[in-house]
Chains A and B, each alone.
Chain A
Amino acid sequence: MTSTTITPTRSGFSAAEYLTCLNGIVWREALRFLHQRERFISALVRPLVWLFIFAAGFRQVLGLSIIPPYETYILYEVYIAPGLMAMIQLFNGMQSSLSMVYDREMGNMRTLLVSPLPRWFLLSCKLLAGTAVSLLQVYAFLLIAWFWDIAPPPAGYLTVLPALVLSGLMLGALGMLISSGIKQLENFAGVMNFVIFPMFFASSALYPLWRILESSPMLYYVCLFNPFTHAVELIRFALYGQVNWIALAVVGGCTIVFMVGAILAYDPSRGLIRRGPAGGET
């Protein structure tokens, strides 16, 4: 077997190539999302059921005091709206995670991972794409909620955007990290039971933390250390043009930790993909 002459490749990638790759991944996620109309509908129905049914039923049971960022007494529907926005992002993050496990089982994930661009960049693009999809869902929810008299200040629709991006990244990165540890699609049901439900219920999404403290100090601390609580609070404050700095720090820090963990997990020399071949391959 002989050698011959070939022109070498240039090293590195241009900014335009990175941008093209990012656009391509976001475009593909958007296409998949549009093709899966049921996913969009179910993403909306879930929080709307909570808003229209659960909140209406509990309005009279759960009274609220005046707590920041609200300046007056509010309806329970108004209180849980930020929690439901975060819930949309939580489910979307886990849906993306499920999609990655599915892609891995079906082989599609290889298309992404054999790209010559750096793997950290590919995963970051995937994360951004998932976050962009979650933003569409959240704003669709806000639009419907507006007809339900849940109307934050007009500027709130803009000021909440950075908070939504950050919380979407955190929850997406968490989903990505979880997906790296799931070998089979069937195992994903466990994520519902052990991640989504505990994160959602042990948070300030449905009831303020001071209420939880009154009933169970231990649960209060669980909620306090739950990053989802801080995602909810970050969104809640941003929706009213305010910044909850503690929530911002926690969500930002968790985003970095989860993302680094996911990148390490998908590193070929460390993570899941060195564990074994796919079914049927040798």
Chain B
Amino acid sequence: MTATDAFSSGQDTRDIPSRPDVMAAPALSIDGVSHAYGARRALIDIGFSVAPASFTALLGLNGAGKSTLFSLITRLFGIQHGRIGIFGHDVARTPGEALRLLGVVFQPRTLDLDLSVTQNLLYHAALHGIGRRDARGRSHEVLARIGLADRAGSKVRDLSGGQMRRLEIARALLHRPRLLLLDEATVGLDVKARADILTHVRELVAEQGISVLWATHLFDEIGASDDLVVLHQGRVLAKGEAPRVIADAGGSDINTAFMRLTGSAEPSAGATS
């Protein structure tokens, strides 16, 4: 079995019988979500969904509320208002079922620098209840896929920034989730590393049917066929397929459309974030 096969055969064979509400649910549904830090409102009545096997870009400047939204989806923060569902599982009511289907790469590094590459993966596998033997097999597969098989025994602190990010993505896929969240996953990386990671994630969507929510503030990371959600100052300003969002905003490209939507002149197309 190849690494790709391993990913694509990702459904847990011990699944319970089907439930109608889960069978036809979007990968991610955000419905009327608001969140405040004291008096400061970070998210205001957010609503959108991510279709299964799609790449959805969540575009917003720094401070738009992207990380707050990710923290709500992953249940790091409690949901104050609204509802979040992952393939029909309510994150607040059935977090175990919801989080089991979710892989996440946070904006800050979350690897244990003192452990080796493989040890980080085994630890993550254990947190998902995956036995040691199975976890070792999966680790070999994901490391081969991301080109880090020869660094399996290396300390994470000895990896480059791009390698760490790839490892985080591999780790997020280890338990074979159906929805992958990436919060500014390319921040701090060079142009090539950014392109490699973006290509890798798009392959996951195309080849394995994984749904992806990709949070970014970089316009050049958004593809022509992507779904797009524009988040600005805690509000969703536009959502839909990227060409439609651009057309509806009266822009010629994503950059001008974004500026028209937000009334901002701030350039964010740079590749050097």
**A→B interface (CB under 8 Å):** 1-14, 16-18, 20-21, 23-25, 27-28, 31-32, 35-36, 106-108, 110-118, 122, 267-270, 273-278, 280-282
Q: A3 touching B110 by the CB < 8 A rule?
A: no
B122 contacts chain A at the CB level, 8 A cutoff = yes
Q: Which residues of B contact A8 (CB under 8 A)?
A: 15-16, 18-19, 22-23, 87-88, 97
CB neighbours (8 Å) of A107 from chain B are: 106, 108-110
By beta carbon, the residue of chain A nearest B50 is A1
Q: Which residues of A contact B125 (CB under 8 A)?
A: 24
Does any Cβ of A come within 8 Å of B248's Cβ? Answer: no
By the criterion CB–CB under 8 Å, are B52 and A3 in contact? yes
CA distance A16 to B110 in the complex (A): 26
Contacting residue for B227 out of A1, A21, A281, CB 8 A: A1
Known: A114-B104, A280-B108, A281-B108. A23 touches B129 (CB 8 A): no
Instruction: Give the residues in chain B near A21, CB-CB below 8 Å.
Output: 126-129
Provide the B9-48 mask, 1 if CB < 8 A to any CB of A, else 0.
0011011101100111111000000000100001000001
Asked if B49 is at the interface of the complex by the 8 Å CB criterion, the answer is yes
How many residues on chain B are close to A (CB under 8 Å)? 77
A11 and B54 within 8 A (CB):
no
Task: Report how far A117 CA is from B97 CA in the complex, Å.
Answer: 9
Q: What's the Cα separation between A110 and B106 when bound, in Å?
A: 9
Cβ A112 vs Cβ B127 within 8 A: yes
When C-beta atoms are compared, the residue in chain A nearest to B134 turns out to be: A20
- Distance in angstroms from B130 CB to nearest chain A CB is 7
> Given A11-B96, A16-B129, A24-B125: A268 and B78 within 8 A (CB)?
yes
**Chain A proximity of B183: nearest CB distance (Å):** 8
**Nearest chain A CB to B246's CB is how many angstroms away?**
16
- Since A6-B178, A114-B99 are in contact, a sample of 13 more A-B pairs with Cβ atoms closer than 8 Å, ordered by chain A residue number, is A1-B54, A3-B25, A4-B51, A9-B22, A11-B97, A12-B96, A13-B96, A23-B132, A32-B114, A115-B128, A122-B127, A274-B78, A282-B65
Number of A-B contacts (CB under 8 A): 189
Selected interface stretch from B66-74, B142-150, B198-206: B66-74
Most chain B CB atoms below 10 A, which of A7, A35, A36: A7
B64 pairs with A277, CB closer than 8 A:
no
For B126, the chain A residues whose CB sits under 8 A away are: 20-21, 23-25, 27-28
A24 CA to B128 CA, complexed, in Å: 10
Interface positions of B (Cβ within 8 A of A): 11-12, 14-16, 18-19, 22-27, 37, 42, 48-54, 56, 62-68, 71, 74-79, 87-89, 92, 94-102, 104, 106-112, 114-115, 119, 122-132, 178, 183, 227, 239-240
Q: Which residues in B have their C-beta under 8 angstroms from that of A268?
A: 75-78
Contact of B77 among A13, A117, A273 (CB under 8 A): A273
Residues B108 and A3 in contact, CB atoms below 8 Å apart: no
A-chain residues with CB within 8 Å of residue B49 when the two chains form the complex: 1
How far is A27 from B88 in the complex, measured between Cα atoms in Å?
Answer: 34
Chain B residue at minimum C-beta to C-beta distance from A4: B52
B residues less than 8 Å from A23 (CB atoms):
126, 132
A110 touches B76 (CB 8 A): yes
Q: B76–A273 contact, CB under 8 A?
A: yes
Tell me the complex Cα distance, A13–B127, Å: 12
Q: Which residue of B lies closest to A269 (CB)?
A: B78
Q: Which residues of B contact A111 (CB under 8 A)?
A: 110, 112, 123-124, 127
* Nearest CB of chain B from residue A244's CB, rounded to whole Å: 37
In the bound complex, how far is the Cα of B97 from the Cα of A106, in angstroms?
27
Please indicate the chain A residues that have their CB under 8 angstroms from the CB of B66 in the complex. Answer: 282
